[in-house]
Each structure stands twice: as C-alpha cells, then as structure tokens.
A and B are shown apart, each in its own frame.
Chain A
Amino acid sequence: MTRSIGPVTRARMVALGASLALAAGAFALFFAQRQTGGLWVELTRALLILMATFWLAWGAAQAALGLWPAPAPQPRRATPRGRCAILVPVHEEDPQATFARIAAMDAALADTPQAGLFDIAILSDTRSAHGAAREAAWYLELLRSRDAEGRIFYRRRSSNAGRKAGNIEDFLKTSGAAYEFALILDADSLMAPDTIIEMARRMEAEPRLGLLQSLPGVIRASSVFGRAMQFSAALHSPIFARGVARLQGETGPFWGHNAMVRVRAFAESCALPDLAGPPPFGGHILSHDYVEAALLARAGWIVRLDEDLSGSFEEGPENILAHAKRDRRWCQGNLQHARLLAAPGLRPWSRFVFVQGILAYVSSLFWLGFLATTILAPALRVEPDYFPLDGWSFPVLPPNETTRTAGLIIGVLGLLILPKLMIAVQAIRSGRAAGFGGAARLMGSTLAEIALSSVTAPIFLMFQTRSVLQVLSGRDGGWPASARGEGRLGLIESWQASRWISVVGLAGLAITWRLSPELVGWLIPVAGPMIAAPLVIWATSLPSRALFAVPSETRPDPILARQDAIMADWSRGPAPGTDETPATAAPAQEPQHV
C-alpha cells in the first residue's frame, strides 16, 4: 500500500532536507581528522557552524518555497454576518496618533454596507497619570468627531495583569459573548476596510478557522534604517510569508496583531497560565502570540496566514536602538518558550515553531562562538602530521585556513544575498517592481538594502548576543513602552548606547592580529561595522528619501490618506483638555536605553 505525501509534508521535507544538507556541507568544510587547531577545537567549530548554517539555510529555503507561484485566491463564498470587535490594546502610546488611526478605520468602515457589524474597543493598560489623562481627553474628541458613542469603547484597567494577552482576555471575559469575531490590532496598526471585511468573509467561509493572520506591511518610515526595513518588508516579506504559508498547513502563525480570531475558539483555548517561577523564564508568558497559535491548533482549530491579504499595515522601529529594544523583549519571549516545548498535546509543528523562535536568537551565540574559536584556533595549534597513514608515501597537507574561510563567506553570502536577488528578479519579471519605482530603482534599492544589512548585521549580532546572555543570566527586561515616531538619534546618544560594541570589535581585531594575522582581512567586514557602531547607528537614524521606494508611497492605500487628513485636522488648535497644541502636549520621547 502506498501513502501519498501531502503538499505541506513535501514542502517541509524539501526545506528541512535542503537546510540539513547545506549545514552538513558547512560542517564537512570545517571538520577533518587532521586539522590545524586540534580535534576538539575543530569539532567545536564545525558543530557551531553546522547550527548557524542550518538557521541561515532554513531562512533561504523559506524564500525559495515562496518564489513558487501562489495558488489562486479563495473564492468568496460567504457574506460576513457575525459581529466583530476591533480590539486596540494600548500601553503608554500617543493617543492622538493611535486614535487618528481608529477614526480613519471607523470612517472607512462606515462607507461599507457591513458597517453595522463592527465595533471598536480601545483597551488601555496605560499606567501614568499624564498618559491616562491624555487618553481620556482624546477619546472624548474621537467620540465627538466620529459620533461614535456605543460603537467605539474605551476602558482602562486598574491592573495590567497579563500585559497584552491579559488585556485581551479581560475584554473577552467582559464582552466576548457579544461578538463572533475579534480583529486584534496593535496601537500602530492600520487596516483597510476591504481587508477587514474580506477577513471576516474568510472566517465565515471556513467554520474551522480559529485565527486568520494577515501580513502587515510597514508604513510611514522616514529614516535610512526605517525605510530600509520598510522596503525589505514590502519586497521580501510576502515571498518569505508565502514560503511560511506553504510549510504551515493548518498550524500557522499568530504575530499578535493584524489578525482576526473566532472569539469562541480563542476564549476556549487561549487563557494563558503564568509559568512557575520568576521571570525571565517563569511568570507571565511574554511572547503570547506564538503560544496562542499553538493552543488553537491543539484544540483542533485552523490557524492560517493568508499572505495575499493586502491593506494591512503597521509602523516599524526608526532606528537600530529602537529595533534592539524591541528585539530584547522578543528574545526573552522566545527563549521562555523553551519551557513549553514539552507542553501536553501540542502539534509537532507548533513545537518546531518554538524551536525556530529560540534558534533565531541563540544562533547569534553560534556565530560568535565560531568566530572566537576560529581566531583562537592557531593558539591551540598542533603540529601537523604530514604522513598519517602507515605505508602511504605521499604527504597529506592540512587544509588551508584562508581557503576554508573564503568558502564559508561565499556560502553565507549566498544564503543571505541570493534569496534577496532572486526576489528582486522575480518582482521585475512579474511587474511587481512598478510599485517600487520601476526595475532600476528596485534593483538599486535591493543592492543598497543588502549593503546596509551587511553593515548592521554585526551590530545586531552583538545586541542579540547581549540579550540572550541577559536572559540566560536571569535578567527580566520588563514591559517598556514601544518607541514610535521620529527616531533621529544624536551622536552622543548613539555613542553611549553602543560604545561597548566598538570596544568588543577593537579587542577582537587586536586578538586576531596577534594570533591569526592572516585572518585580519577576513574579519574586517565583521569588526569594522562593530568598531564604527556609534556612527552607523547615528547615520542610519537620519531622515532620507533617496532610496527604498515602496508601494505604500507610490500607490498609497486610501486609508493612509484618511488618517493623514484626520491627523492634520486634529493638529489644528489646542489639544483636547489643554491649552497647548498637540505637538507640544505630546510626552517627550522616552530615552532609548537598550
């Protein structure tokens, strides 16, 4: 009897097989019995490169899977009938900007025949008295301008137990029975009404669908770093997401926002317990979204990422420090998932997703460990045995360190750069390039993004390594407010936040010079950006419009213009509840300590 292999299993086998084969190739490149650094050094180094290469290859395999044409979109079989609550959890956000997005979505939905199906609930976890006062004043302004009493709700918890997951749980326990669906947003989320209605339609069409995740595009970036991220999200993310969608089957991802859930399914399956012990590994589950997706799948619900859904937006960090600050939180959340790997009843793919999330951060330790052993290997050098085999009269030469390093760099660059180039070529061939300013601008932006990410990668390697070590040593990152808005940094601020990276880079280069001078040239692409980290962080935070055009700029969705108009309208005259203009009433941006 033969059993046919489904497309999801086949995709998983191809991606895993290719990744393991490439990782094994890297291992073989760095491990042989007679080596310069001795057996144990070589074995350690080869194992480290095996793990690090697997992670890189896994990302490249997802891109390769995503490059295959997508199946035709689903037919729209169902008419949305169930009521839907649009949930906007907020925590020390700028209420003017957040509520302008809400007003824009409310106004856009009001123009559709399904307007009566949607309510909006602002769920505040803001603790500061000043923040709470501003929220209340702007909420009353929102009600007035949208005539939305009984349709747009606002409540502030006196205890923010469970953070965002607890905030949503609190809403569902209070009001969940009034709704069939809930669209979970972040404070910086913006969604087009057609997208929201299409998501409700798809939820209606598939009664087993517990959660539908859209792919949010990044908008409104203005700095060099922010615009490069925005460009990458617009060009690369749909392809990577299509690869993820091919691998996910019915066990898709939840990224915490811009996703619609079936309220009954979520309520039955997703009340998270606190984990035993103190943070960072115990206590509240920080990266709750991955866990909620796993719990929905455990209960038999479909969790799906539909990457074809357009009109879903979020804002991103505008500088490297804001990104590193967010990454610190994600790092702790992902490493905490190690506690859940053996959770009862989870689907194997859910467990694998947890492992993936952990690897995303731990891989930085593998790279750093590999670099360290490569630099130190000559100090541990053993005399090569040119005639290791009895009776064999020809000498066996040890492998050339430079050749191996060159081979590794070519392999790594291939795994990192080739997928991006292939995505750019595919965008040009499919006509998608028009949204990026045409083929020439797209290719220019792609090369600039590759150059920029090559420079920033060693800096992120250091921030990630520090985050992992902090979590492993038991340091809890807490729940800082998200850094949004303009992200221009001063040179002194950049220096203070990253001088330690410069010191590590200089020390690494000096040690290499002393122990393995032949490797200095190969180390420069890593050590150079580290030494220049304060300059890189400062320069990439500066505003720029030169490159990185994206469809949200060249063909903006009408929802963006609606939000702009509301913001402009609300910025005239004094802020509600004060005599100040909104710009001066806004709280000073939080210092970005990372």
Chain B
Amino acid sequence: MLDQTTHRPDAPAPQAEAARRGALPDAPLAMPRQQLERDLAPAFLARLRALLTPRLDA
C-alpha cells in the first residue's frame, strides 16, 4: 500500500515546515495495476477438465 504522508504532527519543526511548504499539488490520477504474469494454471486446468469431463460422465 502506498502511504502518502506529508504532514506529521510528531515531526520536528523543520520537517513539519518542509512538509507544509513542499506539499504536492492535489491533482490525482488513476493508475490501473498491470498484469504481467501469465498464470497458466487456470487455463491448463480448464482444458484438462474439458478433456476429462466427458469421460468421467460416461
């Protein structure tokens, strides 16, 4: 999880001042998480099931 904390009440004075005066612009943008790993197991299991089901039913 990304924790965006710029104002910390317990921070020493210069750090609190830096956080206050350096605050980023408030202009959020969505970033959808990308899929990178090809999970072969579900596809393989589905294919195996399709192959076996008629025989199991028979």
Contacts and interface: CB of A to CB of B under 8 A. Distances in A.
Contact of A273 (B6, B15, B36): B36
B25 A133 contact: no
B51 interface: no
Q: Which of B3, B8, B18 has the most CB of A within 10 A?
A: B18
B29 A159 contact: no
Interface in A150-190: 152-159, 161-162, 166, 169-179
B19 A155 contact: yes
Contacts of B4: 155, 157, 170, 173-174
Chain A CB within 10 Å, residue with most, of B26, B35, B37? B37
Given A159-B2, A161-B2, A173 B29 contact: yes
Q: How large is the interface on A (under 10, 10 to 19, 20 to 34, 35 or more residues)?
A: 35 or more
B12 interface: yes
A153 B23 contact: yes
Contact of A175 (B8, B17, B26): B26
Interface string B1-39: 111111010001011011101111111111111111110
Q: Which applies to chain B's interface (DSSP): helix, strand, loop or mixed?
A: loop
Given A139-B18, A140-B17, A342-B38, A155 B31 contact: no
Contact of B37 (A136, A155, A162, A275): A275
Contact of A161 (B1, B15, B31): B1
Interface in A342-376: 342-344
Contacts of B8: 158
A152 B21 CA distance: 9
A149 interface: yes
A171 B27 CA distance: 10
B35 A344 contact: yes
Contacts of B24: 121, 153, 155, 171, 174-175
A309 to B, nearest CB: 27
Interface stretch (A262-270, A429-437, A500-508, A566-574): A262-270
Interface string A247-285: 000000000000000011001111111011000000001
A174 B26 contact: yes
A132 B2 contact: no
Task: Count chain B CB atoms within 10 A of each CB in A119, A136, A177, A272 and give the residue with the most.
Answer: A136
Nearest to B2: A170
Contacts of B34: 269-273, 295
B30 to A, nearest CB: 7
A339 interface: yes
Contacts of A291: 36
Contacts of A159: 1-3
Contacts of B26: 174-175
Given A157-B4, A170-B2, A275-B36, A140 B21 contact: yes
Given A158-B8, A161-B3, A276 B25 contact: no
Contacts of A121: 24
A273 B35 contact: yes
Interface of A: 119, 121-122, 132-133, 135-137, 139-140, 143, 149, 152-159, 161-162, 166, 169-179, 263-264, 267-273, 275-276, 285, 291, 295, 339-340, 342-344, 577
7 contacts: A133-B15, A136-B17, A153-B23, A154-B22, A157-B5, A173-B31, A273-B33
Interface of B: 1-6, 8, 12, 14-15, 17-19, 21-38
Given A271-B31, A275-B37, 14 more contacts: A132-B15, A133-B15, A140-B18, A140-B21, A153-B22, A154-B21, A155-B6, A158-B5, A171-B24, A173-B30, A174-B24, A263-B29, A271-B32, A339-B37
